[in-house]
Structure 1
């Protein structure tokens, strides 16, 4: 397996979470493609760590549905399938909608400014890998409005898996105007303090995203 060198793990970072995050990024960015093999030995060398945290991270990703066991060959990144796509998108949309329903009044100006600036940066980005990161940060911020750590953790786990679909789609289909417009509509509802409308628009956003990716997969 040939992979780019990820950011080094610095002293003071929690090792298990850092190794997990680096492997997720290799997969989510598309550097390790669907169907590719992942071995403890290769990842250990790439990350400059022992095999133990690598094994733990791979087992965690297996439980999350991102990789599966390839028997003697270690693990492999799961292929992209219409079935998994159709299962992931609605659940993530429902979780994000649940978070936004907690918004019952207009967001503070400083919060809206951060969300608006982040969205503007996303809209100006043409690089699929960086755009996927910015999109993840934007949706993480929306879920974070609920202040629910369990909801945020579940949404983050699903987003790690779904990122494989998003990055593959963005590499092959540059059109993004519709998604950007959907983001703006959600933000407008939040600015008005209408969490229920924002939630409805969010579910539609994820449904539309699923339909776009499913059409591409077909």
Structure 2
């Protein structure tokens, strides 16, 4: 019988590699935890626009080293929710202006309907199953008012749009979506905290899914365009007057 592998059988080099791998996993877990905590503070309004985000202070509050805090802030910088200011560290980004929001929606309308059409033409059965799962998760997710209660909704929403971008089979279309996708969480603060349009948004996602499932690229493109236009209208209606 073949002897079962035991950690003591590994060479010193293999054991060192295993320890490094474990440290890498633990470091990623810590960075993910810090990211989630900071994102919750941003989405719940506990970190106000323009306020400083202290790396050392956050590390003390969360009982971690500064390293995972830096990694989490770098991820948040990609979303546009924090900004790194030379010699001053990180600050919470200002809330979207109406002009910022209009430009983001213009970009989404240029990219995402085309993504839906291409994905409909090229999507495989595995991708379609994942897309259906994203819609089911969207329907079953809690909706707030605290971030902890609607983060699963946001994750399913983002996954739906990201899957469509991936299924275009076009690396440049996927990159174009990813470039603006990071700003989408920040835009949600434009209309206030929480999810207030779930029923409408879910119906719009289902319309896109139905068109893709039926193999109608033109309808998929039109359904995605309608969804983004409705998102724009709802957010503008809900936004506080500046």
Shift of 1:41: 2.9
Retained in 2: the 8 A contact 1:69–1:76? yes
Question: Partner of 2:43 in structure 1?
Answer: 30
Structure 2 unaligned runs (5+)?
Answer: 1-21, 144-149
Alignment of 1:113 onto 2:129: yes
Which of 187, 194, 219 aligns to 1:165? It is 187
What is the TM-score with the length of structure 2 in the denominator?
0.67
Which of 198, 206, 209 is the aligned partner of 1:187?
A: 209
Measure how far apart 1:105 and its partner are.
Answer: 4.1
- 1:193 CA displacement: 1.8
CA RMSD of aligned residues (A): 3.7
C-alpha deviations, 1:148-184, integer Å up to 9, x for none?
A: 3343233233222221232674744533211111111
Contact 1:85 1:165 in 2 (8 A): yes
Q: Output the CA distance in 2 between the equivalents of 1:56 and 1:126.
A: 25
Change (3 A) 1:42 1:58: farther
By how many angstroms is 1:56 displaced?
10
Query: 2:94 — aligned with what?
Result: 79
Under a length normalisation based on structure 1, what TM-score does the superposition of the two structures give? 0.73
- Residue 143 of structure 1 pairs with residue 159 of structure 2: no
**Distance change (3 Å), C-alpha of 1:51 and 1:11:** closer
After the TM superposition, which of the residue ranges 146-155 and 85-94 deviates more from structure 2? Answer: 146-155
Greater displacement, 151-160 / 43-52: 43-52
Could you list the runs of 5+ residues in structure 1 that have no partner in the other structure?
1-9
Distance in 1 separating the partners of 2:164 and 2:120: 14
Matching residue of 1:207: 229
C-alpha offsets along residues 57-92 of structure 1, whole Å, 9 cap, x if unaligned?
Answer: 549827x64433556642222122222111112212
Structure 2 match to 1:68: 83
1:176 is matched with: 198
Q: Which residue of 2 aligns with 1:3?
A: none
Give the conservation status (yes or no) of the 8 Å contact 1:37–1:76. Answer: yes
The answer for the alignment partner of 1:134 in structure 2 is 156
